[in-house]
Structure 1
Amino acid sequence: MSGYLTTHVLDTARGCPASGLRIALARVETGGREWLAEMVTNDDGRTDGAILPENRFKPGSYELVFHAGDYLRATGQVTGPLFLDEVPIRFGMEKGHYHVPLLLSPYGYSTYRGS
């Protein structure tokens, strides 16, 4: 069995999915990152498909970068200096379905391995 990766973002300050938030995915390798994908969340706060589909999956270290600052400004939650701008989450994957959501507010976030 191979693997794949999905994600979504919930805006905990407003109590809704984070629509229109840009997310980038990189494979982390010795010597740097290889950027694999960039997507924008839909009205449900999810990407329209797996951000890393099964046919591109290989075990290793990955990093999701959530462009939270752009989203927080666009939704009017931040008007001055950003406390959170880019939110990087680095994690390892071996096989199976990995779901890495982001729970976001202007001054904090959390994540976990979902299902």
Structure 2
Amino acid sequence: MDNIKNWSKNELVAYILLYVANADLHETTEEKDFILTKVDKETYAAIHKQFDRDNDYQCIQNIIEGVKSHDYFRDDYAELFADIKLLLYADGEADRMEESTLLFLRKILKED
């Protein structure tokens, strides 16, 4: 699971959503449930293990590397960012740290 270049699109999406969900250092049940609407339980569990091993810098590098190496979104991040916005409100309210993380991801993924 360590080689980002071998990740599927679902694995990458799960990782990104986990990163945002944990921006406030707390992943709620509602956030987990939302992520599970996007990926199966096995993918979620495997990606969560990887996510738990990574520090913040590694998470960002994995996201950048995954997006660039796979070109899954082909410069159209609308679906990904829509999923992130839905995740932000999965537990009823968007936390400031999660909102900031969304803005940060927009910046690093859309600008080289």
Q: State the TM-score, normalizing by the size of structure 2.
A: 0.30
Higher strand content, 1 or 2? 1
Q: State the TM-score, normalizing by the size of structure 1.
A: 0.29
